[in-house]
Amino acid sequence: MSSDAIVVLKEDHKKVRRLFREFERAGQATQRKRELVGEIIAELTVHTYLENEIMYPLVRQFLPDLEDDVLESYEEHHVVDVLALELLELDPSNEHFDAKTTVLIENVRHHVEEEETDWFPKVRAGMSRKDLLDIGAQIELMRPSAPRDPRDPKAKASALKAITA
């Protein structure tokens, strides 16, 4: 059974929040932290790609009053992309690794909080259940082919299109 877009995206949020908590509990285990950051970046890359390619353009089309919210979300995704790219190049023993990861986590938590408490309710109120189910199905259909690495050309092209939209 298909879930609506908001339910699908909230499930992604749950996954990354769990990974964030694992990172925060990892202490001095640098190898485990590297693995967790890799998982976090992969999940965030898929999620932002799906929002940038499907959810945000359709919301802009159906709910033009939410244009400013969508543009802000694109910029928040851009900040995450920059931090993710930097983290991929950084050794976990580097003194900046934990700090940079913490900034990434704080930014994503802020973004998720805004989406879940402000933006998603507006979208749910403004779109039909059928539309949200259709968008959810599109997201799930595209998920297997979504990039998991922000260095992937598809991820780069999507991110660039989002910040120049």
The pLDDT value recorded for residue 67 is 93
104-120: per-residue pLDDT in tens?
999 999 999 999 999 99
- Please identify which residue in the block is written with the tokens 């190898």: 31
Both tokens assigned to 79: 């900040």
Both tokens assigned to 163: 């910040």
Cβ-based neighbours of 48, under 8 Å, separated by 6 or more:
77, 80, 81, 158, 159
- Would you put residue 17 in left (φ > 0), alpha (ψ -120 to 50) or beta? alpha
Q: Give me the percent of the chain exceeding a pLDDT of 90.
A: 93
The pLDDT value recorded for residue 69 is 93
- Give the structural domain span for 130: 5-163
Amino acid at 131: D
The pLDDT value recorded for residue 2 is 65
pTM of the model: 0.95
The pLDDT value recorded for residue 54 is 97
**In the chain, how many domains are there?**
1
Q: Distance (Å, rounded) from C-alpha 42 to C-alpha 34?
A: 12
Amino acid at 19: L
- Assess whether pLDDT exceeds 60 at residue 1: no
34-45: per-residue pLDDT in tens?
999 999 999 999
77-89: per-residue pLDDT in tens?
999 999 999 999 9
The pLDDT value recorded for residue 51 is 96
* Range 59-80 average pLDDT: 94
